[in-house]
């Protein structure tokens, strides 16, 4: 398997705070993340995935890749990584200790070296095999090289990247405008809704800004053991995004399994078929659980969908007059911490949800009533525009065109679950050429795509994934700022998929080797 190695070398300052703190510091300095930390700035628009790749390259651009067997011990992997780090210049050369600096009696020397998990900061046990540590192909490990301190330090607190996850409690610290009423809600989804769970993390500041001061929304997830959370997220995220978010401790939480999520939804009076959804509720103490709630199913995890939803809600709430925000006698009101909310839900869902549902102020019923009256108009705005008139309308279908059937390119597909199998090969290849005709190695990749689509030994799902991987390789090759290790990892994944296709394996594997050598050197 292939591992990405990032070197952390220095004195005690280098290892002060969590490994993911360096990502948090870099985030704050990047223009594309400025809206996440400055309430006076709007969230960055455009391709959200691009900024996460930029963060990945900023922090892991000097990481290198090693190829190791899963049976290798951690101690052997450490020795190999250390040699490679010194050979490539990622670590200082192994030399005699330097003379102490003037005024300091310490020699500059290596105190110890170890391999660490970037998510937990725990040192891998030297005697364990890599397989037993839970590492898999493409994972990141940290090569730690601690040297003697060359001065005295007064350390400032390191940023805790996991604390940023509290921003998932949307608009947590905002005050209702002019002391007016506030709308309360919960975003519900299950492990099956990985796209939405990912969107919440990668667009957290966009959701925070959209929810605004008049809307307070909680995200309900559960904290899981890292081994369990790693297994869930590893297969759902691109390698770069997985490495960044996991290092920042943003993947230690995951959605509830359907059974647990449905139990929470039942407490709120929400039918299972409505998930994933955003539920607004009337939280006054005299209201029974789920007695009054507004449910907006989340049909698309996209900026446009949430901008429409929250924008319409904000427009409706803007019609309310300013009011005195004083609490009723005996009424308690205080912000609920997201992490405590999540942890307690797993232990005592009834008590925590009861606290959540009864935490609204007396005036908040005006916000709920206003949005309830506008529910139908908001739902209408969320519906997509009608499709152009066609002979066929396919919604979340799997379409297979068999050989010899009449085929036309004038199809309209609706629904994120719609897949198109056996699309004419020449059409796919032509579109590929038009899009990546200038990319390095485009001709070899075109041949590889044609071989993949024409293989009779690949299953439909494998052919579809392999074709997408070829497109990913072309995209990475065409981007001068892309990570060479990411290109090699995708190429390795493609090689594994095509190795079992007897009719194309030999030429396909030769092309992959040629492209990797040409693009990554």
CATH number at residue 100: 3.10.20.90
* Residue with the larger pLDDT of the pair 376 and 426: 376
- How far is 376 from 31, CA to CA, in rounded Å? 39
Q: How far apart are the first and last CA of the chain?
A: 20
Alpha-carbon span 122 to 216, nearest angstrom: 36
314/374 Cα distance (integer angstroms): 11
- The reply to whether 203 falls in a domain is yes
Residues 299 and 168 in one domain: yes
Does one domain contain both 138 and 177? no
Identify whether 496 is part of a domain.
yes
- Confirm whether 236 is domain-assigned: no
Q: Same domain, yes or no, for 59 and 190?
A: no
Q: For residue range 487-507, what is the model confidence (pLDDT) as tens digits? A: 888 888 888 888 888 888 888
Residue 74, C-beta contacts closer than 8 angstroms, at least 6 positions apart: 115, 124, 125, 126, 127, 128, 129, 130, 133
Determine the Cα–Cα distance for residues 338 and 423; give it in Å rounded to an integer: 46
Q: Poorest-confidence range of 18-27, 32-41, 106-115, 345-354?
A: 345-354
Residues 6+ apart with CB under 8 A from 109: 97, 98, 147, 148
Share of residues in the chain with pLDDT > 70 (%): 70
| In a shared domain, residues 49 and 198 | no
Sign of torsion over alpha carbons 351, 353, 356, 358: negative
Q: What 3-state class would DSSP assign to 121? A: coil
Does any domain span residue 300?
A: yes
pLDDT value, residue 412: 46
Residue 81 lies in a domain: yes
Last residue of a domain, one of 94, 119, 147: 147
| Sheet with 293-297, edge to edge strand ranges | 215-219, 183-188, 277-281, 293-297
Residue 423 three-state SS: coil
Q: Is the pLDDT of residue 380 over 70?
A: yes
Measure the CA–CA gap between 401 and 453, rounded to whole angstroms: 14
Residue 336, CA distances (Å) to 173, 176, 295, 343, 513 in order: 10, 16, 22, 12, 54
205/51 Cα distance (integer angstroms) = 13
Give a yes or no: residue 403 inside a domain. no
Is the domain of 372 the same as that of 429?
Answer: no
Give the domain CATH number at 365.
3.40.30
Chain center to CA of 58: 17
Q: Are 254 and 197 in contact (CB under 8 A)?
A: yes
Q: What values do phi and psi take at 238, rounded to 5?
A: -60, 150
Higher pLDDT, 485 or 1: 1
Return the SS3 of 316.
helix
Mean pLDDT confidence for 144-155? 74
Three-state secondary-structure class, residue 190: strand
Cβ neighbors of 415 (< 8 A, separation 6 or more) are: 394, 395, 396, 397
State pLDDT tens for residues 233-252. Answer: 987 888 888 999 999 888 88
Segment 413-427 mean pLDDT: 53
Specify whether 72 is located in the same domain as 199. Answer: no
Answer whether residue 10 is part of any domain.
Answer: yes
Closest CA to 82 of 25, 132, 31, 145: 145
How would residue 447 be classed by pLDDT, with cut points 50, 70 and 90? Answer: confident
The whole-number average pLDDT for the span 269-289 is 76
Predicted pLDDT at 73: 95
Q: Write down the pLDDT at residue 123.
A: 93
User: Which DSSP symbol is given to 123?
Assistant: B
Q: Is 439 helix (H, G, I), strand (E, B) or coil?
A: coil
Alpha-carbon gap, residue 284 to 181, rounded angstroms: 12
End of a domain among 345, 360, 379? 379
Mark whether 333 and 468 lie in a shared domain. Answer: no
What is the longest distance spanned by two Cα atoms in the chain? Answer: 85
Number of residues that this document lists for the chain: 521
Do 169 and 132 lie in one domain? The reply is no
Contact in structure between 142 and 116 (CB atoms under 8 Å): yes
Strands 277-281 and 183-188: antiparallel
DSSP 8-state secondary structure symbol assigned to residue 256: B
**Is a pLDDT exceeding 80 seen at residue 358?**
no
Tell me, yes or no, whether 187 and 99 share the same domain: no
Q: Considering only residues 406 and 4, tell me which one the structure prediction assigns the higher pLDDT.
A: 4
Q: Which tokens belong to 450?
A: 């044609």
* Whether 360 and 479 share a structural domain: no
Cis omega (within 30 of 0) on the bond before 491? Answer: no
Within 10 angstroms of residue 451's Cβ, the number of other Cβ atoms is 20
Based on the structure, what is the number of domains in the chain? 3
pLDDT of residue 390: 54
Interhelix angle 258-267/349-357, rounded to 10 degrees, is: 40
Residues 305 and 349 in one domain: yes
- At 318-343, the pLDDT tens digits run 887 655 444 443 333 333 333 333 33
Is it the case that residue 466 has pLDDT exceeding 80?
yes
pLDDT tens readout for residues 51-97: 888 888 888 888 999 999 999 999 999 999 999 999 999 988 876 65
Q: Is 198:246 a contact under the CB 8 Å cutoff? A: no
- Whether residue 387 lies inside any domain: the answer is no
d(CA 306, CA 311): 8
Residue 394 has pLDDT above 70, yes or no: no
Pair (373, 278) in one structural domain: yes
Is pLDDT at 158 greater than 80 in this prediction?
no
- Asked which of 189-198, 257-266, 300-309, 326-335 is least confident by mean pLDDT, the reply is 326-335
Structural domain containing residue 501:
424-520
Asked if pLDDT for residue 278 goes beyond 60, the answer is: yes
Q: Please give the structure tokens belonging to residue 255.
A: 């959605």
Rounded distance between C-alpha atoms, residue 70 and residue 467, angstroms: 28
DSSP string, 34-98: HHHH-TTSPPP-S-HHHHHHHHHHHHHTT-EEEE--TTSBHHHHHHHHHHHHHHHTSS----PPB
Examine the fold and report which residue of 147, 181, 196 is the final residue of a domain before the chain moves on: 147
Contact 62, 90 (CB under 8 A): yes
Q: Please classify residue 302 by burial: count the beta carbons closer than 10 Å to its beta carbon, then call 0-12 exposed, 13-18 middle and 19+ buried.
A: middle
pLDDT band at 162 (very low <50, low <70, confident <90, very high): low
Q: How confident is the model at residue 467 (pLDDT cuts 50, 70, 90)?
A: confident
């Amino acid at each position: 398997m292939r591992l990405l190695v990032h070197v952390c070398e220095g004195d005690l300052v280098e290892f002060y705070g969590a490994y993911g703190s360096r990502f948090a510091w870099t985030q704050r300095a990047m223009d594309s993340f400025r809206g996440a930390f400055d309430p006076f700035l709007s969230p960055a628009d455009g391709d959200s995935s691009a900024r996460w790749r930029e963060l990945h390259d900023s922090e892991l651009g000097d990481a290198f890749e090693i190829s190791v067997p899963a049976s290798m011990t951690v101690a052997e992997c450490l020795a190999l990584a250390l040699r490679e780090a010194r050979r490539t210049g990622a670590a200082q050369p192994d030399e005699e200790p330097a003379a102490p600096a003037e005024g300091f009696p310490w020699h500059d020397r290596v105190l110890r070296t170890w391999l660490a998990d970037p998510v937990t900061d725990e040192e891998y046990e030297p005697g364990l095999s890599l397989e037993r540590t839970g590492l898999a192909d493409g994972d990141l490990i940290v090569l730690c090289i601690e040297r003697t301190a060359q001065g005295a330090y007064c350390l400032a607190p390191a940023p805790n990247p996991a604390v940023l996850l509290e921003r998932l409690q949307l608009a947590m610290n905002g005050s209702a405008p002019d002391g007016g009423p506030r709308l309360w809600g919960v975003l519900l989804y299950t492990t099956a809704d990985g796209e939405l769970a990912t969107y919440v993390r990668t667009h957290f500041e966009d959701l925070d800004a959209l929810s605004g001061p008049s809307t307070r929304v909680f995200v309900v997830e559960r904290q899981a053991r890292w081994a369990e959370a790693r297994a869930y997220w590893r297969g759902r995220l691109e390698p770069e995004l997985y490495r960044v978010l996991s290092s920042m401790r943003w993947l230690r939480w995951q959605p509830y399994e359907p059974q647990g999520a449905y139990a929470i939804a039942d407490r709120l009076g929400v039918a299972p078929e409505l998930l994933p959804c955003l539920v607004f509720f009337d939280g006054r103490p005299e209201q029974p659980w789920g007695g009054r709630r507004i449910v907006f199913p989340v049909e698309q995890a996209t900026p446009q969908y949430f901008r429409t939803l929250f924008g319409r809600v904000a427009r409706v709430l803007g019609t309310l007059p300013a009011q005195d925000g004083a609490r009723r006698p005996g009424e308690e009101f205080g912000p609920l911490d997201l992490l405590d909310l999540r942890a307690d839900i797993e232990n005592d869902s009834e008590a925590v949800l009861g606290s959540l549902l009864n935490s609204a102020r007396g005036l908040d019923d005006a916000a709920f009533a206003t949005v309830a009256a506008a529910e139908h108009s908001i739902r209408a705005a969320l519906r997509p525009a009608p499709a152009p008139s066609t002979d066929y309308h396919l919604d979340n279908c799997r379409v297979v065109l068999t050989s010899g059937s009449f085929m036309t390119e004038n199809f309209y597909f609706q629904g994120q679950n719609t897949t198109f199998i056996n699309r004419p090969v020449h059409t796919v290849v032509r579109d590929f050429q038009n899009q990546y005709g200038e990319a390095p190695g485009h001709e070899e990749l075109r041949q590889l795509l044609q071989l993949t689509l024409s293989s009779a030994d690949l299953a439909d799902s494998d052919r579809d994934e392999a074709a997408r991987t070829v497109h990913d390789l072309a995209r990475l090759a065409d981007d001068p700022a892309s990570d060479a290790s990411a290109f090699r990892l995708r190429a390795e994944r493609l090689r594994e998929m095509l190795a079992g296709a007897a009719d194309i394996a030999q030429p396909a594997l030769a092309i992959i080797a040629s492209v990797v050598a040409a693009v990554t050197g």
